[in-house]
Amino acid sequence: MFIDEIKEINSQKVKIFTDNGIAFVLYKGDLSKYGIKTGEVEDSVIDEILTDLIPKRALARALKIVTGRDMTEKMLFDKLSDDGYSDEVCEDVIEKLKSERLIDDERFIRGYIESKSSKKSKRDIIAALYEKGIDPDIASSVYDELYSEGELTSEIDLIKTLLIKRRFDPENADYEECQKEIQYLLRKGFSFDSIRSAMKGL
């Protein structure tokens, strides 16, 4: 195999570009260890790097990333990708960690919703989960399930808490003050019906 270019990424890493379109990241110390330089390199050397060295490093990196924290498949994929691992390597590592239940999107969804439901609206929670790679329909379904089980703070109670913190007094508030609070809560992702019910219940 022919190495077209060795491009420095930072003080520790380089990216190797081959003539057949394969690219991969190595530590600078690997260059001398494996005899990597521009020009012709033994196919067996490249095979060892691609099929053994890099997958092992990606798995070790993934385990380090997920230790002590929960994350979605997309979050882990993005982190590994940022480290220079190919899509195929990222996907293989994720499948391994899924089989060991070290990453579990449904577990992440449930934990995230339970931790945020006392602070955020359903809409904002679903939007945040979408940014983390979770399908909105799946997130919404889990939210509704948790709500039906009585695990979540109701949006009306949450709105009341926010209004109290903002020292909103419905009995003495004029039209302009009411509209200000309504617009604030709408921007937070609460429905108009929930806001109206909460204001009437204060």
Over residues 64-78, the pLDDT tens digits come to 999 989 999 999 999
- What's residue 170's pLDDT? 81
- What's residue 150's pLDDT? 85
What are the tens digits of pLDDT across the range 100-141? 999 999 999 999 999 998 889 999 999 999 999 999 999 999
- Per the listing, tokens 């190495």 go with 3
Q: Is the overall model pTM greater than 0.85, yes or no?
A: no
Whether 200 has a pLDDT exceeding 90, the answer reads: no
Q: 188 pLDDT band (50/70/90 cuts)?
A: confident
- Name every residue whose Cβ is closer than 8 Å to that of residue 101 and which is 6 or more positions away in sequence: 107
Token pair of 63 as six digits: 């385990």
Beta bridge mates, 40 = 2
> Could you tell me which CATH number the domain at 2-99 has?
1.10.10
- What's residue 155's pLDDT? 86
Q: 9 pLDDT band (50/70/90 cuts)?
A: very high
Give the whole-angstrom CA distance, residue 45 versus residue 1: 9
Cβ pair 22, 81 in contact under 8 A: no
Whether 201 has a pLDDT exceeding 80, the answer reads: no
What's the CATH class of domain 155-201? mainly alpha
Cα separation values, 23 from 40, 46, 87, Å: 15, 11, 12
Give the whole-angstrom CA distance, residue 153 versus residue 117: 6
Percent of the chain past pLDDT 90, that is, above it, reads 72
Cβ pair 132, 95 in contact under 8 A: no
